[in-house]
Amino acid sequence: MNRWNLTAVCAAAVLGLAACGTNPSSNTVPPAHQQGMHMSTNATLQAYHWYLEKAVNAKGVAQPQYKALEPKTQVRLDFVAGSKPGEQTVSSKVCNNMTTNYALDGDKLQVGRVVSTMMACQGDALMQLERAVGAQMGRMQSVQMVQGAPQPRMVLTFTDGSRWHMSGRPTDATRYGSAGETIFLEIAPQTQPCVTGAMRTECLQVREVRYDSASRKTVAPEWQHFYGSIDGFAFRPGVRQVLRLKRYPVKNPPADASAFAYVLDMTVEQEMVDRK
């Protein structure tokens, strides 16, 4: 195979970057608030992705600028436990990844300085939205959970008196009931015929990739059929890819289904391949 147009995406940060957004799957466990679990405010914050439903100023007047680019770009906040003890971050991605540390005392939020990656945004409107969201992240003051709602909801208040009304959608860890495992798979540029149950179909060809602490790569020698699907991934014929995935055990899967769910975390490499 002749190779051309090699593109390595985020290869230097294979082991450390945050996940990109993925689409929800239907094979999930019930959300935590539907399992009779009494979660603290902080645990609830970290169990969901928080999407902006309505923004108002201190007088209750709507601020439509935060929703002007929907549905393509929707403001979302993620509250995450950090890798170090006691570390917690809140992040948002409009164009760049914006992050700040936070601490929660009752319903009071304390936040640090907002830091951001520095990629160019496509269009002035996207850049303006990102600046506005980043400024608000540095003004977060308190959070109040809405009781009795059919899905998790909260009101985030800022130091200028403005408020964001937000709804929660379960994170993958909440949906599947575990933190999951990070794995890397290389995806071949072409599928191969295979049999799943009583059906003949086409299967992805995959092989496992491992990285050591210095990001040196080792690739399994044999390709294997991949039976199932990867949330957030769309196969492109003629493109070889290395994917970073989260793998979650599935509770009580059907007899002919995989015991694991796979969710795309990040595309590490992609390469167009000429089969001639």
Of 175, 203, 237, the last residue of a domain is 175
Q: What is the pLDDT of residue 243?
A: 97
Same domain, 39 and 23: no
Quick check: bond before 71 cis, omega within 30? yes
pLDDT tens sequence across 206-216: 999 999 999 89
Claim to verify: residue 171 and residue 194 sit in the same structural domain: no
Q: Which is more confidently placed, 134 or 35?
A: 134
Query: HEC string of 151-213?
Result: CCEEEEEECCCCEEEEEEEECHHHHHCCCCEEEEEEECCCCEEEEECCEEEEEEEEEEEEECC
For residues 92 and 107, give the distance between their C-alpha atoms in angstroms, rounded to a whole number. Answer: 20
Please give the tally of structural domains in the chain: 2
In this predicted structure, the answer to whether residue 9 has a pLDDT above a threshold of 50 is: no
Whole-number Cα distances in Å, 37 to 44, 65, 81, 245: 10, 36, 19, 28
Mark whether 38 and 154 lie in a shared domain. yes
Domain stop point among 175, 206, 226: 175
Indicate if 165 and 235 belong to the same structural domain.
no
pLDDT surpasses 90 at 182: yes
Query: In terms of residue numbers, what domain contains 225?
Result: 2-27+178-274
Alpha helices in 97-159 (DSSP H): 124-137
Same domain, residue pair 160 and 68? yes
Q: Are residues 142 and 270 in the same domain?
A: no
Mean pLDDT score, 103-130: 94
Q: How confident is the model over 244-266, as a mean pLDDT?
A: 91
Domain finish residue from 175, 192, 218: 175
Residue 65 pLDDT grade (very low, low, confident, very high; cuts 50, 70, 90): very high
Residue 14 has pLDDT above 90, yes or no: no
